Structure 1
Amino acid sequence: MSAGVEEPHAQAVGTNRDVLRIPAFRRLGLAWVFSNFGDSALYLTAAIWVKQLTGSDAAAGLVFAALGLPALLAPLTGQLADRFRRIPVLTATNVAAAVVVLALLLVRSADQVWLIYLVIFIYANASYVTSAAQSGVLRDLLEDRLLAPANGLLSSVDQGLRIVSPLIGAGILGLWGMNWVVAMTCLSFLIAALVLSRLRLREAVHSHEPDSFWATSTAGFRFLLGHALLRPALLTLVIAVGATGVLNVTIFATVDQGLGLPPEFLSVLISCQGVMSVVGGLTASAVIRRVGIPRTIVVGILLLGVSVLGSGSTLLSVVLGSTVLLGLGVPWAIIAFVTLRQQETPPSMQGRTSAATNMMINVPQVGASMLAAALLGLVDYRTLVLAMTALCLASVGPLVLRRRAADVPAA
């Protein structure tokens, strides 16, 4: 969209029921349930397993590092999703993930922990490929007005499974051992692949640009940063979500020093946030329908800023209320941006812009977490909370200024 093109305000947006009436979307959603169930069940269980094998918290933490590293390969995963037909890519990726996960059956002792890291790294790459390819599938499958409810429903499925499936995985690990978790995860991926293989969709023609490898790999980044509306919206999201990386660290101090509660209480806050994130996904399309995409991003980020500020409180009611706002605000902002990106991106670049977005959001968040962990021993956690709040609230500046400039009539 050029600077002179009208921005997407409160336009016609479909409802959750509208998108659920489409059989192909229901099939895609069913595959998403099984794929995400296997994904969510494995990642936390693998960390617990490493802790059991080694007795080391640091070794267990490296599982999450292995999960985050594939974000750096986003240019490659985005190309894969744009160069080939996406339904076969999704199907093959789920089958490959199932095969890779089976390698965990070979692990018998702490000496083989390296194999767990390798498997987690490879299967985490599969989730990035899936996300990139699915973005293009949704764009080919649905009208613009149905993208917001579709993204909201898939987000709710994702968040809901992140609450339930790790508990199931940990329970199976405790009762029957890791081999049964591996079998369950493998079966989930294979069912997802079977469902996807039966999905019929007329996909957009994929162009094969004659550009260099570097040019095609960075095309998604260049498109996002060169777009008149996507650039400020993405900058707002990157700053705000990156700041939440600090919250991932300070929340431990909030529970311990601020509330005087045991560390186990963190599970209550995480569960509360997860439930509200499901609600956020289900209500996102209604908010977008009422106020439009840019304002939904701003509202979501402002809620995030308020929730971050409240997380530094010593009152339990305020911290719980902040968790509710966090669960609503983040999904609203992210779903609105993803919908905007899908609408504004050509079909041939959906995968690369999706992968680029994931990288630009996830890498700063991980970096912020590492920085906060280093500073927490030197600075009071409430100082970090205040700084993060100011950063979140300031992050809406690029998008608000862009909207004001767009509202000024041409001379």
Structure 2
Amino acid sequence: MRTVLSRPDFRLLFGGLLASMTAESILLLALAVWVKDLTGSDGHAGATIFAILAPRMLAPLVGWFVDRCPGRPLFVITNLATALLLTPLFAVRDAGDMWILYAVAASYGLSNLTIGTVLSRLVRELVPPDLLGEANGALQTARQGLRLIGPLAGAGLYLALGGWLLVVVGIVGFLLAAVVVGTPRTLPGPSELPAGPRESPAATATARLRWPEELIAGLRHLAGEPALRRALLGYGLGSLVMGFTETLIFAYVDRGLGRDPAFVSVLFTTQGIGGLVGGLFSAAVLRRVGELGTLALGVALFGPAALLLAYPNLWLGLVAVLMAGLSLPLSMVGLHTLIQRRTPAELLGRVAAAAEAVVRFPQTVSIGMGALIVALLDYRLVFVAVGLVTLLAGNHLWRGRHLSPPSGPATRPRIPTQRSGPGVADHDVVASGGRLPEATTS
């Protein structure tokens, strides 16, 4: 991790992301707690998370847009827009203003998808292929580490001073991210970056005529690449039930432990400890078992965590959320690194967004269903079902780990910065897993 953070361009991107991730960690859970406090409903609290994830259905359009915009300006503009989108929350007073909360949550979900898609592209542009796992591990370590303070800070600010202070913190965080990353000279310009093959004006004009096909180019790549196809199938299966826990955790705290909704922040903070450990070791795990193996371990760890939550006991619950926290960075680092290494540069925005949609669509459905299921079924039985399905999904991923074998200790291949002809540079071959990228239009 020290190696990748020694790169000035990545370090500045990392600093900007710390500001936006801090705002995100404080806001995400606090919005759900705010809804629970206004309505007294576990279902409405879970529906807030659903509203945040629902815009991910627009992922193909977002990816198509990201692939056609300069990365740094788009990152800056999206963070500024996110800060602006939070301002209607100042008008929320009671349960009659719930529509404002849901509208802001949906808008925030769309901007969050855009930021994540741009980030995947920026990391690929700034970091050599052998350091992608380390870069993704550093980002996940920071994200999970913020769970140690973010949820508790968000819940504490809400209980002490109300929702308006949360909004101020969120706005400041996203504005700061835009300023840091938007500062001149923070990231290299397009002429300095290794890029995919250039297209002729005629090819570009043809691509514009076929824009509907371009929207699904990311999905086509995911379906045609064996390792990515297995990753999305296995992780998608796990996500189909993992989303239940977004609502179940409120029922677990309320009905099982008999505590106030704000106690969820304690569990999220504990989860952050596991996430911090997972982020720190994710690059080492990646080198040992490969991208699919790392993803498999992450998904499978969620199984016993869910099974432990089927029995309402505080100490078992803390162990469970620690395991759930450990699983998340392993899953994310494995999936993101696999996508970055197996995707041509000119397709990365669409593939990253399409992967997000494929994974998050079943999760979004399960969150929506969870808001209903928690009112109809014993939440403990649902936790058991979640545990069994995620163990099955992890096994499916583990059996395919040979499709992305470990790369061993990181080396520093010589990557040309200029192209002397129409061929594909070494950077593209390494980044696509040692294969020449298929010809695509962009």
Q: Tell me which interval the TM-score lies in, with the shorter structure as reference length.
A: 0.7 to 0.9
Specify whether residues 179 and 361 from structure 1 end up closer, same or farther in structure 2 by C-alpha distance, changes over 3 A only.
same
Shift of 1:163: 4.2
Aligned residue number for residue 367 of structure 1:
365
Specify whether residues 176 and 285 from structure 1 end up closer, same or farther in structure 2 by C-alpha distance, changes over 3 A only.
same
Aligned residue number for residue 130 of structure 2:
145
Residue 323 (str. 1) matches residue 308 (str. 2): no
Question: Which of 137, 151, 168 is matched with 1:183 structurally?
Answer: 168
Specify whether residues 160 and 247 from structure 1 end up closer, same or farther in structure 2 by C-alpha distance, changes over 3 A only.
same
Q: Conserved in 1, the CA contact under 8 Å of 2:247 and 2:371?
A: yes
Aligned residue number for residue 242 of structure 1:
240
**Match for 1:371: what amino acid?**
M
Q: Conserved in 2, the CA contact under 8 Å of 1:296 and 1:332?
A: yes
Instruction: Write the distance in 2 (CA, Å) between the matches of 1:385 and 1:36.
Output: 29
Within 5 Å, which residues of 2 pair with 1:163-178? 163-178=148-163
Q: Which runs of 5+ in 1 are unaligned?
A: 1-15
Instruction: Write the distance in 1 (CA, Å) between the matches of 2:100 and 2:376.
Output: 36
Residue 229 (str. 1) matches residue 227 (str. 2): yes
Q: Conserved in 2, the CA contact under 8 Å of 1:310 and 1:318?
A: yes
Aligned residue number for residue 344 of structure 1:
342
Specify whether residues 326 and 175 from structure 1 end up closer, same or farther in structure 2 by C-alpha distance, changes over 3 A only.
closer
Aligned residue number for residue 358 of structure 1:
356
Instruction: Write the distance in 2 (CA, Å) between the matches of 1:304 and 1:42.
Output: 24
Instruction: Write the distance in 1 (CA, Å) between the matches of 2:94 and 2:260.
Output: 29
Specify whether residues 117 and 320 from structure 1 end up closer, same or farther in structure 2 by C-alpha distance, changes over 3 A only.
closer
Within 5 Å, which residues of 2 pair with 1:7-46? 16-46=1-31
Shift of 1:180: 3.9
Q: For structure 1, which segment, 197-206 or 19-28, has the greater mean C-alpha deviation from structure 2 after superposition? A: 197-206
**Match for 1:200: what amino acid?**
L
Q: For structure 1, which segment, 345-354 or 42-51, has the greater mean C-alpha deviation from structure 2 after superposition? A: 42-51
How many residue pairs get aligned? The number is 391
Shift of 1:255: 5.4
Specify whether residues 315 and 145 from structure 1 end up closer, same or farther in structure 2 by C-alpha distance, changes over 3 A only.
same
Q: For structure 1, which segment, 247-256 or 28-37, has the greater mean C-alpha deviation from structure 2 after superposition? A: 247-256
Q: Conserved in 2, the CA contact under 8 Å of 1:44 and 1:166?
A: yes
Residue 200 (str. 1) matches residue 200 (str. 2): no
Shift of 1:110: 5.8
Instruction: Write the distance in 1 (CA, Å) between the matches of 2:96 and 2:27.
Output: 20
Residue 120 (str. 1) matches residue 118 (str. 2): no
Shift of 1:84: 0.8
Shift of 1:134: 0.8
SS in 2 for 1:395: helix
Aligned residue number for residue 154 of structure 1:
139
Q: Which runs of 5+ in 2 are unaligned?
A: 406-442
Q: Conserved in 2, the CA contact under 8 Å of 1:308 and 1:322?
A: yes
Shift of 1:88: 0.8
Q: Conserved in 1, the CA contact under 8 Å of 2:148 and 2:270?
A: no
Shift of 1:148: 1.0
Aligned residue number for residue 280 of structure 1:
278
Instruction: Write the distance in 2 (CA, Å) between the matches of 1:405 and 1:21.
Output: 31
Shift of 1:133: 0.6
Instruction: Write the distance in 2 (CA, Å) between the matches of 1:155 and 1:346.
Output: 23
| Structural RMSD (CA) | 3.1
Aligned residue number for residue 76 of structure 2:
91
Instruction: Write the distance in 2 (CA, Å) between the matches of 1:58 and 1:308.
Output: 19
Instruction: Write the distance in 2 (CA, Å) between the matches of 1:54 and 1:307.
Output: 29
Specify whether residues 227 and 182 from structure 1 end up closer, same or farther in structure 2 by C-alpha distance, changes over 3 A only.
same
**Match for 1:82: what amino acid?**
D
**Match for 1:157: what amino acid?**
A
Q: For structure 1, which segment, 339-348 or 363-372, has the greater mean C-alpha deviation from structure 2 after superposition? A: 363-372
Instruction: Write the distance in 2 (CA, Å) between the matches of 1:190 and 1:231.
Output: 37
Shift of 1:146: 1.1
User: Once the two structures are superposed, what CA deviation does each residue of 1:57-83 show, in whole Å capped at 9, x if it has no partner?
Assistant: 666554333212211111121122111
Shift of 1:90: 0.3
**Match for 2:120: what amino acid?**
S
Shift of 1:280: 0.8
Aligned residue number for residue 116 of structure 2:
131
**Match for 2:339: what amino acid?**
R
- The share of aligned pairs that are identical, in percent, is 34
Shift of 1:312: 2.4
Shift of 1:91: 0.9
Question: Which of 74, 83, 88 is matched with 2:59 structurally?
Answer: 74
Specify whether residues 80 and 162 from structure 1 end up closer, same or farther in structure 2 by C-alpha distance, changes over 3 A only.
farther
Q: Give the alignment's TM-score, normalised by structure 1.
A: 0.83
**Match for 1:119: what amino acid?**
V
Q: Conserved in 1, the CA contact under 8 Å of 2:50 and 2:364?
A: no
Shift of 1:131: 0.4
Q: Conserved in 2, the CA contact under 8 Å of 1:252 and 1:263?
A: no
Q: Conserved in 1, the CA contact under 8 Å of 2:151 and 2:268?
A: no
Instruction: Write the distance in 2 (CA, Å) between the matches of 1:193 and 1:350.
Output: 22
Q: Conserved in 1, the CA contact under 8 Å of 2:121 and 2:348?
A: yes
Q: Conserved in 2, the CA contact under 8 Å of 1:243 and 1:368?
A: yes
Q: For structure 1, which segment, 391-400 or 330-339, has the greater mean C-alpha deviation from structure 2 after superposition? A: 391-400
Q: Give the alignment's TM-score, normalised by structure 2.
A: 0.78
User: Once the two structures are superposed, what CA deviation does each residue of 1:23-73 show, in whole Å capped at 9, x if it has no partner?
Assistant: 111101111011122233334444455566677766655433321221111
Question: Which of 329, 332, 347 is matched with 2:330 structurally?
Answer: 332
Q: For structure 1, which segment, 329-338 or 307-316, has the greater mean C-alpha deviation from structure 2 after superposition? A: 307-316
